[in-house]
């Protein structure tokens, strides 16, 4: 346990996104002259990337290893993506700080900037989220949904790899054709001149020069083995933003009112033992409007028993004296759903959220969740 003269040791996963989020927390604390040491921890979820989250015993596969280190006294706190956290954590830990939330919604990425509505029937969209899959199927049943695993940068690489590799191949072929011109007869060279001039205009750079101007993520995509060609991928805007990838491709922001986000999506949480360190973190980091919103979302999720393997979207926003809340619970194929919106009084937002969850359950939400849990495929997840 750190004293006031020592740095606070905060645990984080080692993925690029996790480190980016932990760095945001570190900077906020540093701005108030609180020193922080980030400690990378390999989690169960990282070690067993292809395992079904449900087979890991409980939700929170990416959370437990970090919090265990805090409880053991090796760390003073841990930085989490809040949507990955179980709604019930260890009794000895508190959510010490919830910084102001990033974008809560989802985005669609396509290589050419095609909108979701303009995708042709049969287009392939990549996502490993049961919630996104169910909402996409409900709105666009003609689309084909394929699994998409990996960190944020890996998912973007899988999207852009086929088109980049095809472009690279065309450039290599054009360069090879230019090299063969010396063996052509004069007549063949004359016949090919117009095509050659057009190719020269199209490819003013050599293939190596073209590669050099690609971004690092595009160069990695060139080397990636392509198993599935995606027309689009759907993922959280906050992850793209914090990974500094939001400008990589054109994005379409999906309305959180219709494509309802996962509970606490876009929010970061810092857990710690209750005490002086937790209070110091809270005083610097905590953003009351965000804490109210995610409390509402996670209370509803916890009351419904949604866990991490059901298509549940819950989005809350503080608006003056009320918390405007939308919940959408779907069957896995998107053919059935329970959906409702309600304005909850901010002064009793947690209790009102629990009451809202009871009404959703009475309308059939828990039945859909139970059915989705039974039918969930390996590797799928709610978020």
* Tens of pLDDT, residues 307-340: 767 899 999 999 999 999 999 999 999 999 999 9
Cβ neighbour number for residue 69 with a 10 Å cutoff: 18
pLDDT tens, position by position, 2-33: 556 689 999 999 999 999 999 999 999 999 99
Q: What is the DSSP letter of 268?
A: E
Over range 222-227, report the average pLDDT.
91
**Residue 185 confidence (pLDDT):** 39
User: 56 — alpha (psi -120 to 50), left (phi > 0) or beta?
Assistant: alpha
Distances (CA, A) of 125 to 51, 54, 140, 223: 22, 24, 11, 22
pLDDT tens, position by position, 53-109: 333 334 566 788 899 999 999 999 999 999 999 988 888 899 999 999 999 999 999
92 or 237, greater pLDDT: 237
Q: How does residue 192 score in pLDDT terms, banded at 50, 70 and 90?
A: very low
Report the SS3 class of residue 321.
Answer: coil
To the nearest whole percent, how much of the chain has pLDDT over 70? Answer: 85
Nearest-10 crossing angle of helices 16-30, 276-285: 90
295 has pLDDT over 50: yes
Cβ neighbour number for residue 80 with a 10 Å cutoff: 27
CA distance 163 to 224: 12
**What DSSP letter does each residue of 272-320 carry, written as one string?**
EETTHHHHHHHHHH--HHHHHHHHHHHHHHHHHT-TTSS-EEEEEEEET
Q: How does residue 178 score in pLDDT terms, banded at 50, 70 and 90?
A: confident
**What DSSP letter does each residue of 70-118 carry, written as one string?**
HHTTS-SEEEEEGGGS-SS--TTEEEEE-PPP---SEEEE-TT---TTT
What are φ and ψ of residue 207, in 5° steps? Answer: -55, -40
Tokens at 328, concatenated: 């959408």
**What DSSP letter does each residue of 133-153 carry, written as one string?**
HHHHHHH-TTSEEE---S-HH
Domains defined along the chain, listed by start: 8-104+260-375 (3.40.190.10), 106-255 (3.40.190.10)
**Residue 377 confidence (pLDDT):** 57
């Amino acid at each position: 346990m750190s004293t006031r003269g020592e740095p606070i040791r905060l645990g984080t996963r080692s993925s690029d996104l996790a480190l980016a989020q932990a760095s945001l927390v570190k900077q906020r604390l540093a701005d108030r002259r609180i020193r922080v040491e980030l400690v990378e921890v390999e989690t169960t979820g990282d070690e067993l990337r292809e395992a079904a989250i449900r087979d890991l015993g409980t939700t929170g596969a990416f959370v437990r290893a970090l919090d265990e280190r805090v409880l053991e006294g090796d760390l003073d706190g841990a930085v989490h993506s809040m949507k990955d956290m179980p709604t019930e954590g260890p009794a000895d830990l508190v959510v010490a700080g919830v910084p102001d939330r990033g974008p809560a919604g989802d985005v669609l990425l396509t290589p050419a900037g095609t909108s979701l509505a303009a995708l042709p029937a049969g287009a392939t969209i990549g996502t490993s989220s049961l919630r996104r899959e169910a909402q996409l199927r409900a709105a666009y049943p003609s689309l084909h949904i394929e699994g998409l695993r990996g960190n944020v940068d890996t998912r973007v690489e899988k999207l852009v790899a086929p088109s980049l590799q095809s472009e690279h191949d065309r450039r290599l072929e054009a360069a090879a054709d230019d090299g063969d011109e010396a063996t052509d007869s004069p007549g063949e060279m004359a016949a090919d001149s117009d095509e050659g001039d057009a190719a020269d205009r199209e490819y003013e750079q050599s293939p190596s020069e073209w590669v050099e101007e690609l971004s690092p993520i595009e160069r990695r995509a060139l080397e990636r083995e392509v198993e599935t060609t995606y027309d689009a991928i759907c993922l959280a805007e906050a992850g793209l933003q914090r990974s500094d990838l939001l400008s990589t491709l054109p994005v379409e922001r999906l309305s959180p009112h219709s494509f309802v986000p996962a509970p606490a999506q876009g929010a970061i949480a810092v857990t710690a033992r209750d005490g002086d360190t937790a209070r110091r973190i809270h005083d610097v980091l905590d953003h009351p409007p965000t804490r109210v919103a995610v409390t509402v979302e996670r209370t509803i999720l916890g009351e419904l028993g949604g866990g991490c393997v059901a298509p549940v979207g819950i989005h809350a926003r503080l608006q003056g004296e009320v918390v405007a809340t939308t919940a959408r619970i779907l069957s896995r194929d998107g053919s059935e759903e329970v959906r409702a919106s309600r304005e909850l009084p901010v002064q009793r937002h947690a209790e009102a959220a629990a009451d809202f969850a009871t009404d959703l359950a009475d309308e059939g939400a828990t039945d859909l969740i139970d059915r989705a849990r039974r039918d969930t495929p390996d590797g799928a997840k709610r978020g």
